[in-house]
Amino acid sequence: MSAAPAALQRRPFGKSGLHVSEVGFGGWGIGKSMWGVTDDEDSLKALRAAVERGVDYFDTAAVYGHGHSERLIARVLRETGSAALVGTKVPPRNMEWPAHERTRLVHAFAPDWVRASAERSLRNLRRDSIDLLMFHVFQDRWLADPLWPETLGEFAKLKAEGKVRLVGISVNSDDPDSALEAVRAGTADAVQVILNLFDQRALARLVPACRERGVAVVVRCPFDEGGLTGTLTPDTRFPPEDFRSYYFGGERLAETCRRAEALKADLVPAHAETLAEAALRYCLSVPEVSTVIPGMRTAEHVAANVRAADGRRLPPDVMEALKGHAWNRNFYR
């Protein structure tokens, strides 16, 4: 792993023995799918800026631009000689997000599908080994599926062959408890889950279960897809090909902005310079969190976001008061 500048704090990655930067890199947007216009040159600058500043955890997925995100990350890690950890994901074969509770494992993660996807990601990443290979969706019901031992066995074989170091679960967006049983059963070395100033549900059961099992917690969507950056207004409009055009559709955007303003009033400037910074500090004030992975497409965002990895936490009384801002809703639907 690359040497981190003094200011960038690092944390253990569960009980794996590895350490990662508190701020990692969310690589969905740079895949150029679902996020409107994205310029590869900007993405490459963002990735290089991240490596230069000591970011050494990169999140991606086979489906982010059909491997485009994986390939961009691979290019920058190779050209900079960075040994950063990369987490990627096997998509469900039926491409169903989130996993439907009645979906059988054979339609999502049959062993041959898991292997084929891992091999494809290895080629995209141009590495001999994937640091963390995750299920891109999950259902605890699969633990009772007749195929489960074989699917898990395929991950174990990939590990034994040195093609995968750690196994993870990317938890369904609207249901942090949908992988609780799997975590308790010791299935995963890491989970990736939504946790932010609005959606605090993972703190109830999943995060404590991860603490008990020594499972690394990777926090995604710290900005609620942009709603917690303080840069959106009720008049913001997204192009139709940008998924945020429906995520923030109808009355959702105005309500998001109203709630973001209330958070800003409580947190800025008392605890952070911007709401975005406060949003990252909130995630990093949870000690079980290994790294938070904001989606970044510009070097400027990288520069701003790594500042939250300076070890300064929100005080316990502030964390307690922030429970009052929790807002449970499913905008992914």
Ligand X SMILES: NC(=O)c1ccc[n+]([C@@H]2O[C@H](COP(=O)([O-])OP(=O)(O)OC[C@H]3O[C@@H](n4cnc5c(N)ncnc54)[C@H](OP(=O)(O)O)[C@@H]3O)[C@@H](O)[C@H]2O)c1
Residues that bind ligand X (CB under 6 A): 26-29, 59, 89, 136, 170, 192, 220-226, 229, 231, 276, 293-297, 301, 304-305
**Minimum CB–partner distance for residue 146 and ligand X (Å):** 26
Residues 6+ apart with CB under 8 A from 230: 260, 264, 268, 274, 275, 276
**Minimum CB–partner distance for residue 257 and ligand X (Å):** 14
**Minimum CB–partner distance for residue 169 and ligand X (Å):** 9
How far apart (Å, rounded) are the C-alpha atoms in residues 178 and 155?
Answer: 20
**Minimum CB–partner distance for residue 160 and ligand X (Å):** 25
Toward ligand X, which CB reaches closer, 27 or 111?
27
Q: Which residue from 59, 23, 54, 61 is spatially nearest to 291, judged by alpha carbons? A: 23
**Minimum CB–partner distance for residue 202 and ligand X (Å):** 13
Toward ligand X, which CB reaches closer, 122 or 197?
197
Toward ligand X, which CB reaches closer, 10 or 89?
89
Toward ligand X, which CB reaches closer, 162 or 240?
240
What CA–CA distances, in Å, run from 114 to 108, 136, 143, 213, 324? 9, 11, 16, 24, 41
How far apart (Å, rounded) are the C-alpha atoms in residues 265 and 251?
Answer: 22
Toward ligand X, which CB reaches closer, 11 or 220?
220
**Minimum CB–partner distance for residue 201 and ligand X (Å):** 15
Locate the DSSP E strands across the chain: 10-12, 19-21, 25-26, 57-59, 85-90, 130-135, 164-170, 190-194, 216-220, 289-292
How far apart (Å, rounded) are the C-alpha atoms in residues 82 and 78?
Answer: 7
**Minimum CB–partner distance for residue 153 and ligand X (Å):** 23
Toward ligand X, which CB reaches closer, 300 or 320?
300
**Minimum CB–partner distance for residue 81 and ligand X (Å):** 23
Q: Which residue from 210, 220, 229, 110 is spatially nearest to 172, judged by alpha carbons? A: 220
Toward ligand X, which CB reaches closer, 56 or 225?
225
How far apart (Å, rounded) are the C-alpha atoms in residues 306 and 167?
Answer: 26
C-alpha torsion 42→37→263→260, nearest 10: 160
Toward ligand X, which CB reaches closer, 71 or 157?
71
Residue 164: what are its φ and ψ, rounded to 5°? -135, 135
Distance of CA 114 to the CA centre of its chain: 20
Token pair, residue 69, equals 């995100």
How far apart (Å, rounded) are the C-alpha atoms in residues 220 and 169?
Answer: 12
What CA–CA distances, in Å, run from 211 to 14, 206, 216, 276? 8, 9, 8, 26
Toward ligand X, which CB reaches closer, 136 or 316?
136
Token pair, residue 14, equals 């569960």
Q: Which residue is nearest to ligand X (CB)?
A: 295
**Minimum CB–partner distance for residue 244 and ligand X (Å):** 7
